[in-house]
Each structure stands twice: as structure tokens, then as C-alpha cells.
Structure 1
Amino acid sequence: MCRFNSGFFYRHPILQQFKWYWRVEPDVHFHCDIDFDPFLYMERHNKTYAFTITMYEYHATIPTLWDTVKDFVKENPQYVAQDNALGYLSDDGGNSYNLCHFWSNFEIADMDFWRGEAYTKFFDYLDRTGGFYYERWGDAPVHSIAVALFQNKDQIHFFDEIGYEHNPYVHCPSGQAAYTQGKCACDRQRSFDYDGYSCMRQWDRIQ
């Protein structure tokens, strides 16, 4: 599943007519009215990838992933964006991975990025190592690392206004207006944004 979602779903023949996708998992809940078109927002503002929840990965599932990423970057420095989001992924300038990733059960993204040269070579490089099989390299850290390194940080978007739940985690919009206007029925006391296992602080620091 992780390998398919990392490297193959966007190559499926039925998806070739599409540029954008919104991943919707079974039994997720949206707690706010969505009164705008997220795809148009992404297109008009030159966004590549959008998320609502960010958290740490389990190190035991990806023990060699970051070393493999560093090897790829060393061999292919031309793909690293000038204004990238490395500061979200690493607390020490890239020497180590802090395990932060965008929770990919909600993601809105441009499949042309996955289909592009940088990500194609990146995925193929990872795939040749066997890490999807011998470890558990999830599509969430793989997508997150790629978009954070190979795109400018302002091409990644946090949809704060979309109230989203994938049990047990919930994101509730931070602004008051959505609640006073009756657009949201989201229990902000359950919001995961600044939980101890959340990576929102790492995201905030690069903004």
C-alpha cells in the first residue's frame, strides 16, 4: 500500500486525465462547511501540496530512510529547491530527520509534481533500495520529504480552515469567525495542532 501510494497511483491510466487529486479515506469526518474550491485555490496560488495535520513518524519503521534521502540529494543536488522546507524536516540543518511529516490520509496535491523528473528519480532511487519492503517506508514521509525538499516552502499549504478528523486525530480551524458564522462544528479542545506529538511548531517556525 505504502509503495503504491508513493509511486504508482498517479500513474494509473484512469488518472491520466487529471492534474489534481484530493485523498479521502474511509470514515473521515469534515467538521466545517467548505465554501470554496480547494483545487482552484491551489492552482491560483501556485501550490503543489496541502495538508491539515502534521505529526511525527515512528523511527522504527523508517530507520534508513533519511540516510537514503541524503545519498540521493548528494547525487542530485539540482533538484533541491532554493527556498525549501528543510527546516520543517530537520532540527540540525539536514544532518538528521526529526520525523515530521504531513499526514497523508488528507492531502490535496498536484500530480504533475509526482509525475515530474525530480520525484520520479527520487522514488525510483528509494524503490531500488528495497526499503518499502524491508522497512515500512510510508507514503506520508516519502511525499513530505520530497515536497519539502524539491519545492519552495510557499508551495506547501496548510488548510487551516478545513475541519478534518481521521480517528483519533482532529484538526479544527484556529480562527473564531468560522464558529461565530456557524460554518464549523469542531471541538477545538480535541484539535491535535499543538499536541505533543504534532509537528505544527516545526511548520510554524519556517513560516
Structure 2
Amino acid sequence: MQPKKKLMPKSAFLVKKYERHIRLLFIAFITVLCFVFITRSGNGSSETPVLPPKTVEPAVSSPGGAKDKFLKPHTDKVQNVFYPEDDGVREKACMVTLARNKDLWHLVTSVRDVEDRFNKNYHYDWVFLNDEPFNEEFKSVMTAMVSGTAKFGVIPKEHWSFPDWIDQDKAAEVRKQMKEDGIIYGDSVSYRHMCRYESGFFWRHELLDEYEWYWRVEPDIKLFCDIHYDVFKLMKQNNKKYGFILSVSEYEKTIPTLWETTKNFMKEYPQHVKENNLMKFISNDGGKTYNMCHFWSNFEIASLELWRSPAYREYFDYLDRSGGFFYERWGDAPIHSIAAALFLEPEEFHFFDGIGYYHPGFTSCPVEEAIRLQNRCTCDPGDDQTWGDSYFCTRKYFGARGLKLPKEVR
């Protein structure tokens, strides 16, 4: 008698019967999952992938236009600048603000803009300087606002006062006459101290001793666009020494003898003037006269070593001894600009395109649509004054550097 066959459990029988179908369903399920993943990651899609904020490339006026704005590594084909990726290493840099206690609520939005648009990703320190001690409200608010360390310094009295060689009566007469002539800040003593301080002393403050780079930020400014790269690392890795956004013309009545004094300095200190300089930006006739063009210094990203150099120290001392800060109304913007043009090579300058900037009176808004969209700019390009004629000097700068204007500029 043959043994009775052992019957399989019903569940096992069904699994064996439909095993091939189950395998096919599993393969189909995995295939669908892979397709969904690949599609969502951007492969196989005709749409431009949305990249995380830190991998979006900076805005530049490059001939490639929008199609290569996300290329890595990225080069600005106009200014021949390489935009570095974030390697997590921070430069010896800080933001610098000259302010008074009464400026607090005019400064809060400026600081917030720089933090939101840039520094929240990098946490650089912030140095605040004042000719009197900051009060507790100013310090507590600013400490809360910044993502790096907030430092508060008092300006030494000798840096914010009349030097002993200034004739006080003569200086007072000048201020009186300038007021009658309707010259802006013509009768202001504090404005003159500020211009002299920004020209010759801010970079000597002990709080800045540990830094190599700075970004000057003032009250009431606005940033319109995201900045997706480390501006200080860009300057360092590309061997840049002076960066700007706006360039305008100075009021000639405020600096009637500045250029003659500068020419005298060049004769006495020819060793400081670079053979390959940017004279074409500040003079239309090879240095005979000054064309009044200067970089608007309320926005500066620059090397502190430029101002610490023997060339600039001797230039500032020469100007200071002439008395022009008080007998006229010399501004720090033309002084910084003239010095940089004479002591640097053209390739050591950088025009910060793509940031978007406002200081009361003037607006810079990227003219390229792709840049504005990429950097989430909140400005109206119709308000841009960067490329204006006559009073504005950015075209002059591009011409002096031999750079091609963006195609959107007419």
C-alpha cells in the first residue's frame, strides 16, 4: 500500500501557484519607484532643477546667460572671476559699521538685510564703532540681530577731533561760506570728522586688528538680492582688493584742491604709484585733471591691507597735513577711490553685480532678468541707476577695465 500523499497547506499552495505573478508584480513596483525618484531628482525632466540655496551660483553678467547660471565651478566671463564653493572655512573678515546710539532703528533694517541675504549662512563678526560709548539698548539689539559675534568699540578722541595744525578760525569761515553756498554738509563739523575717520583711522581700530577683510554697512541701506557665495572668499581667492556696487561723481566744490594735492604727492612719492593702474577711471586726460568719478564708499568690500599699506598711510598723512578735510570738505569716497586707482592694478578691483543695493538717493538693481530671478531680487530694474550716464561712472569703470557691458545695457 502506497503511502498517502501529504497535502500542502492551502496558503502555501496559493503562494506556489502564483509565485511567478508575485515576482512580476514586485519587479513592476520597483520599476515605478525608480522612475518616480529619477523624475523628481531632475533627470529625464525638461524643467530646470530647483537647487538648495547654498548650491545656487552667484549672479554675474556672463555672455552665457541663464542657461549656465548653475554651472559648477562657475566663472564670471566678463570680469574673469571664479566664484568659490563654500568649503566651511571662514576668512578673517567682518562687517564694519560706524554709527551712533540714535542711529539704532535706522540701522536695524540694514543689519537684518545683510544677515538675511548673506551672513546667516556664514556668521561673520560685526564691528560697531562710535565716537561715544554705545548704550545698553544698542548693544542688546545688535547682539540679537547678528549671527556672528557683535563687537562694540569707542573711537579714540585723537581720531575724532581737530588736529593741532588746523586753524580753527579759518575752518569756521569755510563752513560758514559753504552753508551760504548751499553745499550739502558744508557747515557740518561732525561730517568732516566722519570723512577724516573713514579715510584714515577706522582700519587702525584695535577691534579690526585680527581681520584682513571688511564689508562696510551703513544705516538705511537695503539689499535686494540673495548672495549665494562668500564675498570675502571671492575677494581673497581672486586676488581682489577693492569691491564696489555704485560709482558716482563728486561735488567739485567740496574738493577744489584735492587733485592738485594728490599730484604733488605723486611727484614726491612716485614709488607708490602702480605703473599699471586705473588712472583711466579717475581722469579723462591722463592725470592732468580729476574727472570726479569715485566708488560710493557707503558700500565697500575690501582688503584692510590696502589701507594699512605704506603707500596709503603716507598718502593719507600727506592729505591730512594739507588741511583739506577741514578747509574744504573732502569725502572719504573720492580719497579711497583715488588711492585704490593709483595703488592697485585694474585686475584687483571687483564690481559686485547681482546683489542689488539701495542707499538713500540711489538704487542698484540687476538689469539681467535671469539674475534677478535666481537671486530672488525684490527691486524694480526700472529704478536701477548703475548704468546711468553723466553723473554715474560705472560705464567709465568698464571702459577703463576694457570690460564688455551687459547686453541689457543700452
**Band of TM-score, shorter chain:** over 0.9
Q: In the alignment, which residue of structure 2 is the partner of 1:198? A: 392
Identify the match of residue 265 of structure 2 among 36, 49, 72.
72
Using structure 1 for the length normalisation, give the TM-score: 0.97
- The answer to whether the 8 Å contact 1:160/1:174 transfers is no
- The structural deviation recorded for 1:182 is 5.3
4+ runs of 1 displaced by more than 6 Å? none
Following the alignment from structure 1 to structure 2, what is the Cα–Cα distance between the partners of residues 182 and 162?
8
Q: Give percent identity, aligned residues only.
A: 52
Following the alignment from structure 1 to structure 2, what is the Cα–Cα distance between the partners of residues 201 and 91?
13
The alignment status of 1:166 with 2:359, answered yes or no, reads yes
The alignment status of 1:49 with 2:217, answered yes or no, reads no
- The structural deviation recorded for 1:204 is 1.4
Considering only aligned residues, what root-mean-square deviation do their CA atoms show, in Å? 1.0
What is the correspondence of 1:21-32 to structure 2 with a 5 Å cutoff?
21-32=214-225
Query: Counterpart of 1:132 in structure 2: which amino acid?
Result: F
Residue deviations 1:108-129, cap 9 Å, x none?
Answer: 1101110110000000000000
Residue deviations 1:4-36, cap 9 Å, x none?
Answer: 000000000111111111000001000000111
Query: Counterpart of 1:118 in structure 2: which amino acid?
Result: A
The 10-residue stretch of structure 1 (137-146 or 189-198) with the greater mean CA deviation from structure 2: 189-198
Following the alignment from structure 2 to structure 1, what is the Cα–Cα distance between the partners of residues 372 and 354?
11
Identify the match of residue 324 of structure 2 among 109, 131, 155.
131
Partner SS for 1:189: helix
Q: In the alignment, which residue of structure 2 is the partner of 1:40? A: 233
The alignment status of 1:186 with 2:382, answered yes or no, reads no
Residue deviations 1:140-180, cap 9 Å, x none?
Answer: 00000000011001101100111100022011123332223
Q: In the alignment, which residue of structure 2 is the partner of 1:113? A: 306
Q: In the alignment, which residue of structure 1 is the partner of 2:288? A: 95
Q: 1:182 to 1:125 in 2, by over 3 A?
A: closer
The 10-residue stretch of structure 1 (148-157 or 190-199) with the greater mean CA deviation from structure 2: 190-199
Per chain length, whose mean CA-contact separation is higher, i.e. which structure has more relative contact order (CA < 8 Å, sep 6+)? Answer: 1
- The structural deviation recorded for 1:107 is 0.4
* Count of residues in correspondence between the two structures: 207
Following the alignment from structure 1 to structure 2, what is the Cα–Cα distance between the partners of residues 62 and 142?
10
